[in-house]
Chain A
Amino acid sequence: MIFKHRKVLYRVTFVLSVAAVFMLGPLGGTAPGADSSFDPAAMSDMSDFDPNNFQQPEGDTIKLGYLQIMSGAAAGNGELFWPVVTWVAHDINKRGGIMVDGKKKKIEILKGDTQGKPAAARKETERLCLEENVDLLWGTSGSHTAKAIADVAEEYKVPFLNCLSLSDELMNEKNFNRYTFRTLSNTTQWNMALSYYFSKRPETKFSILCQDYMYGHAMADAFKKYLNKYKPEAEIVSEDYHKLWLKDFAPYMTKIMAANPDILYTADWLPDGDNLINQARSMGVNLPIANIYITNPDTLASVGVEGTRNMIFCYSWMSGDTPQTKAQKKLMKEWHEQWKTWEAPYDSLLYIWPDFVVGQTISDTYWLFDVIQRTGTLDPEKIIKVWEDDVYKAIQGVRTMRAADHQAVFDMYVGEATYPTREVYEGAPYSEGYAGVHKVIKIPQKYCTPPVPEGLKDRVE
């Protein structure tokens, strides 16, 4: 009798296993405790990938609206993330696409130039939604432009992956909409992680130098708030805000040195971040600089080994010279090998590794399409249903999309730069001529997860 039941059990298990294999499809299986996982084994052979020659599929496609700054002085943003979206699309397209509405569809990418301006972002998003009939939106640098896109996304009911704008306010009670999902860490997550990290270090005196607009002040305020929480004995010995695109950092450096801090904290992005470190080091200011965006290898290589040795980076994705997961190792190797074949502008050191923002956005884009695959349709309401509360084992770490405010929560990473760094794989040193991230410290999610905004707590059961 027992033997008979066991036989039935084996048969049921076999049938279910076969069914599961068919149902999971090409993007990956499911890790324990997660709704889905990125599967490195399923990744296509990427040896024919070239961001300069992305092959757009024809016919019935999944249309992704790629919204970035593509003109003017900040056009580098649009250029930077093009290899990201095309990499993911190329990989999935080579696998035959994604099964949606009973049909395998490949991914087509349609560009929209936000110019870094809300009005232009709104116009381009409307064009993509109304004229191009995009199914999904992807973007964008600058919280003010992301807000414009989010508004249009809600108006036309198109899911919007915000993987680049970090202002807390974007997802608060006032600005939240059901169609926008943020996969990037917000201002609070960033500073909780960094403050927690400093609570474990001996330094107590901090100087703050940020850009003088809403973002810079918000970052500094969050840093002060959580440093006070995690390290009450810490002291802010100087606090300054400089205008955007500052030419001369020397007066600030003199002021900071007079305050005698142990650490300089900055949230500056480019070009200010580049100029800050370059001018500080040229003046003999060799303080450890804790930052987010001074990660461009071209800049670091220019500053050299000594100037970069004592930098501290904080990000929601960090590999450095030690990729932590199998998927991360595979991505780092595949990307780096392909990078060697790319031509301008993608042959610069900026693209040498899929690390920091590049790695994070690749991972987030895979997550978006994993959700689409599991939804099995491009119906926005069904996509929302699947993505809310989704637990995804991403290329690096597990990410959970909070249903209440559509803010992804996860572990954060802090890295210290050193030199020389290890080879990521045989014959591929992480950095040459500058200090790169060697020691990556994981900040567990519980220390860097902000509360759900009060007015959104009861939004979902």
Chain B
Amino acid sequence: MDPMTFICVTQFVHGLAYGLLLFLVAAGLSMIFGMMDILNLAHAYIFMLAAYLGYTMTGLLNFWAALLLAPIGVALLGMLIERFMLRKIHPLGHIPELVLTIGIGLILLEFVKWIWGTQSLMLQPPEILSGLLSIGVFRYPVYRVFIIGFSIAVMILMGLLFYKTRFGTIVRAATADAGMVGALGINVPLVYTLFFGFGTWLAGLAGVVVAPFLSVFPGLADQIGFDAFVVVVLGGLGSMSGAFIAAILIGLLNSFGIQFLPTLAPLLTFGLMAVVLSIKPTGLLGERQ
């Protein structure tokens, strides 16, 4: 294989891994924002909290236990937030939601600083996910391969949950016409709470998966939250497929941009967003603005 082909293939895999990681972070945000119409700016902070919980639980137990327990923990927190805070505010529109979720985010930020301090924490992946995987001339970090596989598995799981289960049918119906679903005797507020909890569970999964990839520090939410928001808007509100495509596009633009257009690389994502939104204001696969 000639060097340029080797570089292009490697950059493609980098882009795929990073894009899927972004998708994992953005998936819950896209669901909550797109389907429940809740502007949850605390999502990135819940993700950050999960990364910290993952760090501690890995130390106390192991990575796999952390991957199981930390998302459940933040999902419970998410359900409490929805039940006792957002539910009352939601009918008042986006501005109160915005203020409330920013406030929750700041409280979580202070909380993690209080518990874990302000310094960067590093977590190494478990032994089985460490090292390099060799395929022919390629040597690629096992943990990045895990991110690719895990993100795809989560996407498939979400697809099955929403389109092949009764819960998914109810959720889709409730987010489309809550009054009608309520009239059928279904406890819509409970569905909303569970759905919000599921969204924050996804943030929790992303947080634990990110912990061995990025250093865990109080700026983690800011570091990745904005990119997740771009993925949601670019993909189209509420569209999982759109978020997936947007995340992959951003990942690939990032890696190929760094290789071939290094000075423009940081601008390519925003350029793509500007082009897509000017042609299709609803985003790639979104149906509403």
A interface, CB within 8 angstroms of B:
72-76, 78-80, 212, 240-243, 245, 247-248, 250-252, 254-255, 258, 270-271, 274-275, 278-279, 282-284, 296, 298-299, 302-304, 344-345, 348, 350
Q: How large is the interface on B (under 10, 10 to 19, 20 to 34, 35 or more residues)?
A: 35 or more
Enumerate B122-153 residues with CB–CB distance to A below 8 Å. 122-125, 130, 132, 139-141, 143-144
Identify B224's interface contact among A247, A254, A258, A284, CB under 8 A: A247
Q: Looking across the interface, which residue of chain B has its beta carbon closest to that of A302?
A: B122
Instruction: With A250-B255, A274-B122, A275-B214 as known contacts, state yes or no: A243 contacts B266, CB within 8 Å.
Output: yes
Partner-contacting stretch, out of B3-11, B35-43, B154-162, B271-279: B3-11
Q: Does B119 interact with chain A (Cβ within 8 Å)?
A: yes
B266 touches A212 (CB 8 A): yes
| Chain A residues within 8 Å of B117, by CB | 76, 79, 344-345, 348
CB <8 Å contact, B120 and A270: yes
How many Å from the CB of A411 to the closest CB on chain B? 30
How long is the Cα–Cα vector from A78 to B218 in the complex, in angstroms? 14
Which of chain B's residues have a CB closer than 8 A to the CB of A344? 117
Q: How far is the CA of A296 from the CA of B121 in the complex (A)?
A: 10
Query: Does chain A have a CB within 8 A of B94?
Result: no
| A283-B141 contact, Cβ under 8 Å, with A75-B218, A79-B117, A344-B117 | yes
In the assembled complex, the Cα of A72 lies from the Cα of B120 at a distance in Å of 14
B259 within 8 A of A: yes
- Nearest 6 CB-CB pairs, A to B? A73-B219, A302-B122, A76-B118, A345-B117, A251-B258, A251-B255
List chain B residues, Cβ under 8 A from A248. 14, 17-18, 21, 254-255
Query: What are 8 A-B contacts with C-beta separation under 8 Å?
Result: A73-B218, A75-B113, A75-B218, A250-B17, A271-B219, A296-B119, A298-B121, A303-B122
| Residues of chain A lying within 8 A (CB to CB) of residue B262 | 240-241, 255
Q: Is B198 interfacial (CB-CB < 8 Å)?
A: no
| A274:B120 contact, CB within 8 angstroms | yes
- Residue pair B118, A247 in contact (C-beta under 8 Å): no
* B11 with A251: CB separation less than 8 A: yes
Does the CB pair A254–B14 fall under 8 Å?
yes
How distant is B68 from chain A, measured CB to nearest CB, in Å?
23
Is there an interface contact between A252 and B258, defined as CB atoms closer than 8 Å?
Answer: yes
Number of A-B contacts (CB under 8 A): 119
CB pair B124 A302 closer than 8 Å: yes
**CB pair A240 B215 closer than 8 Å:** no
- Which residue in B14, B215, B224 is a CB contact (below 8 Å) of A299? B215
Closest to A272 in B: B215
Q: CB-CB < 8 A to A271: which residues of B? A: 120, 214-215, 217, 219, 223
CB-CB under 8 A for A76 and B119, given A247-B224, A284-B139: yes
Q: Which residue of B lies closest to A299 (CB)?
A: B122
B259 to chain A, nearest CB (A): 6
Known: A250-B144, A250-B255, A252-B258. A75 touches B223 (CB 8 A): no
A95 to chain B, nearest CB (A): 31
Instruction: Give the shortest distance, in Å, between A127 (CB) and chain B (any CB).
Output: 22
Chain A hits for B130, CB < 8 A: 282
Q: List chain B positions with a Cβ less than 8 A from chain A.
A: 3, 7, 10-11, 14-15, 17-18, 21, 109, 113, 117-125, 130, 132, 139-141, 143-144, 213-215, 217-219, 222-224, 227, 254-256, 258-259, 262, 266
Task: Give 6 A-B pairs besides A248-B21, A254-B11, A296-B120 with Cβ atoms closer than 8 angstroms.
Answer: A248-B17, A250-B14, A250-B144, A283-B141, A298-B120, A298-B121
A105 to chain B, nearest CB (A): 32
A283, closest chain B residue (CB): B141
Residue among A254, A298, A350 with max Cβ neighbours from chain B (10 Å): A254
A248 to B214 CA separation, bound complex (whole angstroms): 8
Contacts of B7 in A (CB 8 A): 254-255, 258
Report chain B residues within 8 Å CB of A348: 117, 119
What's the least CB distance linking B120 to chain A, in Å?
5
Residue of A nearest to B123 (CB): A302
Task: Name the CB-closest residue of A to B260.
Answer: A255
How far apart are the CA atoms of A282 and B223 in the complex, in Å?
21
Name the CB-closest residue of B to A274: B215
A296, A302, A303, A304, most chain B CB atoms within 10 A = A302
The reply to whether B222 and A73 contact each other, CB–CB distance below 8 Å, is yes
Say which residue of B120, B214, B254 sits within 8 Å of A251 (CB atoms).
Answer: B254
Q: Determine the distance from Cα of A429 to Cα of B64 in the docked complex, in whole angstroms.
A: 33
* B48–chain A nearest beta-carbon distance, Å: 10
- For A258, what are the chain B residues with a Cβ–Cβ distance below 8 Å? 3, 7
For the complex, what is the distance from the CA of A248 to the CA of B119, rounded to whole Å? Answer: 20
B139 and A251 within 8 A (CB): no
B120 touches A299 (CB 8 A): yes
Give the most central of A72, A240, A247: most B CB within 10 Å: A247
Residue of A79, A250, A284 with most partner-chain B CB within 10 A = A250
Contact present for A255 and B259 (CB under 8 Å): yes
Task: Select from chain A the residue with minimum beta-carbon distance to B19.
Answer: A248
**B119→A298 contact, CB < 8 A:** yes
Whole-angstrom distance between the alpha carbons of A345 and B10 in the complex?
Answer: 40
Which residues of the other chain, A, contact B224 by a CB distance below 8 angstroms?
A: 247
Chain A contacts for B118, CB-based, 8 A: 74-76, 78-79, 345
Kindly state the separation between the CA atoms of A279 and B147 in the bound complex, as whole angstroms: 14
Contact present for A247 and B259 (CB under 8 Å): no
Query: Given the complex, which residues of A lie within 8 Å of B219, measured CB to CB?
Result: 72-74, 245, 271
Measured CB to CB, the closest approach of chain A to B258, in angstroms, equals: 4
B14 touches A275 (CB 8 A): no
Given A79-B118, A247-B224: A275 in contact with B215 (beta carbons within 8 A): yes
Q: With CB as the reference atom, state the residue of chain B lying closest to A69.
A: B118
Complex interface: chain B residues within 8 A of A282 (CB): 125, 130, 141, 143
Complex Cα gap A240–B257 (Å): 12
Closest residue on chain B to residue A73 by CB atoms: B219
B259–A251 contact, CB under 8 A?
yes
- What residues of chain A lie closer than 8 Å to B222, measured between beta carbons? 73, 245
Cα A405 to Cα B140 with chains together (Å): 51
In the bound assembly, the distance between CA atoms of A152 and B280 in angstroms comes to 50
Contact of B10 among A240, A242, A254, A298 (CB under 8 A): A254
Chain A min CB distance to B2 (Å) = 12
Instruction: Please indicate the chain B residues that have their CB under 8 angstroms from the CB of A252 in the complex.
Output: 258
Tell me the bound Cα distance from A243 to B269 in angstroms. Answer: 13
